[in-house]
Chains A and B, each alone.
Chain A
Amino acid sequence: MELAFVIEKFVLVTVIFLITLGIAAYSTLAERKIAGYIQGRIGPHRAGPGGLLQPLADGGKMFFKEEIIPSESNHFLFIAGPSLALLTASIGSAVIPWGKVLTIGGRAIELQVADINVGLLYIFGVVSLGVYGVMIGGWASNNKYSLMGAIRAASQNISYEIAMGLSIIALLMITGTLSLKGIAAQQEGFWADGWFTWNVFKQPLSFLIFIVCAFAECNRTPFDLPESENELVAGYHTEYSGFKLGAYLFSEYINMFVSSAVMSTLYFGGYNFPFMNDLGLSDNVIALLGIVFLFGKIFFFIFFFMWIRWTIPRFRYDQLMNLGWKVLIPLAIANIVITGIWMTVKDLI
């Protein structure tokens, strides 16, 4: 491994990590602003111009709050829970291709931390690890409400993971690769051979199931039962205070960012944008523009997450389970079958 490669990856990792943190922090502000706008209010506006320093103020408040660790809890696991949640939330971004290859001084720089050929499996692995943060947090608190909340959250996450995994199979059947870079590259441009290249046009049902499951995995409304403090005593983070609670809430925003990035990459062409090859721009400019477009898509999805949150109420728990097991999973399987038949027929003709 040459030194330049190590430096390049190191810089990339740092930049992506900082961007992730920044976006997660400002999503908290955006959420409150959007909530305000949708409800005919202003939202936070006192800290800094237009409330821009609000995330810093919130962070400061979290840091200086008293942290209570219940005396009967398992102290090590109590601290491990939120740390694990933060960790698993932030490592998911490693396999996302953030743009095309940048060429600087004759060196081709991949805008992706790790191009592993099982990128999608990696994402699913990381997502399922995220359950441990919740589970351990709820268990270590030594509080029955927390334990029950954790079980509720974990069973929700696990059930929706199945539907999510099944929905992705139909997509894999048409792309034929598990590498996110490969999937992004296949969706080059916007229109080719008389058909849209983006996967959302080829697999709309798969996208629909995927986005519903992504909402459930990120514990966002209408699937935010793990957080319903007013009707279900919050659940797994009842005993958490100060920055540990902050870590849990913050990891939710990181999750939202990463899953927006995954959705943009899998279904909305990632860094591709319409007419990218017809503009006669140099490769580097296209790569940079691609990054801009990818972030545009990500911001749209983050907005969409929030938009949904302030539009529809949360499910009851049995409705949530019914939707997951009796609707989404059969739909996903049906989608696989339909895709299979369609591909066979297309091959025969």
Chain B
Amino acid sequence: MESLSNRKKVLEQKPMSFGERIYLPSILTGLAITFKHIFKKRETIFYPEQERPMSENWRGLHSLKRDEQGRERCTACGLCALACPAEAITMTAAERKKGEENLYREEKYAAVYEINMLRCIFCGLCEEACPKEAIYLDGPFLEADYVRKDFIFGKDKLVEAPLKS
């Protein structure tokens, strides 16, 4: 039958010829190939000093954003938690008190906002679901840690640093 891609290869099952069976020619070819590699370009990136440039749509650690006046954008609507296929996000909503208008943008805010980084699959659906543009996956890598509880990131690790005035 005509093959669709024209890349079909018929499997050869002929017994090896004498030249193939003494292996030495193929070993010499292999040696030549590895020797050539000695002079090729090195791909090493010296990690702590040098970082690999990430692609445009790289999804790293989450961060909860603030608006232009330094208030937290998140309104604890729970859409991100709903969108999350890994059920990694949990939050507790609270009502904004008098005098806290400079802290939270809406009347409702997340008193507790936690992402379990061991569950998160970095799909970015929370980012897409958020109506307030409050959550972005624009952080660095997830770092290693020793105990599981340290992988549950609370607001202390997620919320952006306050604006400097």
Contacts of B31 in A (CB 8 A): 307-308, 311
* Tally of chain B residues near chain A (CB < 8 A): 13
Size bracket of the A interface: 10 to 19
Q: Are B42's CB and A38's CB within 8 A?
A: no
Considering only residues 3-59 of chain A, those with a C-beta below 8 Å from chain B are 34, 37-42
- Which residues B18-55 have CB closer than 8 A to chain A? 27, 30-31, 33-35, 37-38, 40-44
Q: How far does the alpha carbon of A308 sit from the alpha carbon of B43 in the complex, in Å?
A: 22
A40 / chain B contacts, CB cutoff of 8 Å: 37, 40-44
Verify A38–B44 contact, CB threshold 8 A.
no
Q: Report B-chain residues with C-beta under 8 Å of the C-beta of A41.
A: 42-44
Q: Are A307 and B27 in contact (CB under 8 A)?
A: no
* With A307-B31, A311-B31, A312-B30: A37-B44 Cβ-Cβ less than 8 Å: no
Q: Is A132 an interface residue (CB 8 A)?
A: no
Residue of A nearest to B32 (CB): A311
Restricting to A162-199, which residues have a CB under 8 Å from any CB of B? none
- A62 nearest CB across to chain B (Å): 26
How many angstroms between the C-alpha atoms of A310 and B35 in the bound complex?
A: 10
Contact residues of A between 270 and 304, Cβ < 8 Å to B: none
**Distance A308 CA – B37 CA, assembled complex (angstroms):** 13
> Which B residues are CB-close (under 8 A) to A311?
27, 30-31, 33-34
A42 and B42 within 8 A (CB) = yes
List residues of A (305-323) whose CB comes within 8 Å of B's CBs.
307-308, 310-312
Residue pair B41, A38 in contact (C-beta under 8 Å): no
Which B residues are CB-close (under 8 A) to A312? 27, 30
Q: Which residue of the partner chain B has the closest CB to A310?
A: B34
B35 to chain A, nearest CB (A): 7
Smallest CB separation, A224 vs chain B (Å): 16
Chain B residue with minimal CB distance to A41?
B44
Report A-chain residues with C-beta under 8 Å of the C-beta of B30. 311-312
Which one, B27, B37, B41, contacts A39 given CB within 8 A?
B37
Q: Which residue of A lies closest to B33 (CB)?
A: A311
Complex CA distance for A311 and B37, rounded to whole angstroms: 11
Residues of A within 8 A of B (CB): 34, 37-42, 307-308, 310-312
7 extra interface residue pairs, beta carbon distance < 8 Å, beyond A41-B42, A307-B34, A311-B27: A38-B35, A39-B37, A40-B40, A40-B43, A308-B31, A311-B30, A312-B30
